[in-house]
Amino acid sequence: MNKADLVTAIETRLGGRKAATDAVDAVLDVIIREVARGNKVTITGFGTFEKVTRAARTGRNPRTGETVPIKKSAVPKFKPGTGFKAVVAKPSSLPKTGNAAGRAAAGTAGTAAPAKKAAAKKTATKAAAKKTATKATATKTAAKKAPAKKTTAATKTAAKKTTRAAKK
């Protein structure tokens, strides 16, 4: 899963792509800025992000075997929390629609209904788009086969047939 997939997954819960993108960007920005400053970011049940400094050391060039000095560096480190580890070890312990306990604790237990409505609306929109595309294809096909004066009647007949077929 990449960032775009994450935004798409959160989109239905927040009610829109813009809100989901803003939320993901805001969380990542805060975590990155705090870790870069040297602060530790701990998200209970998920894990801890922190900055770790690696000491200067001597490495070896694998091609020539020559020793190479490596400068000290600072890198980000993530340590998963116990809740995260438990879910990874036993995925069946995870609720089907996300963290229900977390939503209940935050006082937003009623957010599942709008997500279902949004998903139903999205499905209905896809079906309508498919239906429109089918009608357009049928119209083009009927227009090619029928003479110019009979196009409207042929189009209506083809549209009715595709509508009936789509409803089945």
Q: Which CATH superfamily is domain 45-84 in?
A: IHF-like DNA-binding proteins (4.10.520.10)
Residues 84-96 have pLDDT tens digits of 999 999 998 887 7
Assess whether pLDDT exceeds 50 at residue 38.
yes
Q: What is the pLDDT of residue 106?
A: 40
Strands 57-60 vs 47-54: parallel, antiparallel or unpaired: unpaired
How does residue 81 score in pLDDT terms, banded at 50, 70 and 90? very high
pTM, two decimal places: 0.53
Which long-range contacts (C-beta less than 8 Å, at least 24 apart) are formed by 154-162?
159/135, 162/131, 162/134, 162/135, 162/138
pLDDT given at position 117: 46
- Tens of pLDDT, residue by residue over 111-121, are 444 444 444 44
Instruction: Give the three-state DSSP class for 70.
Output: strand
How high is the pLDDT of residue 104?
Answer: 41
Rounded to 10°, the helix 3-14/17-37 angle is 120
Question: Model confidence over 101-110: pLDDT tens digits?
Answer: 444 444 443 4
Q: Which two three-digit tokens encode residue 90?
A: 């036993």
Pinpoint the residues of the chain covered by CATH 4.10.520.10: 45-84
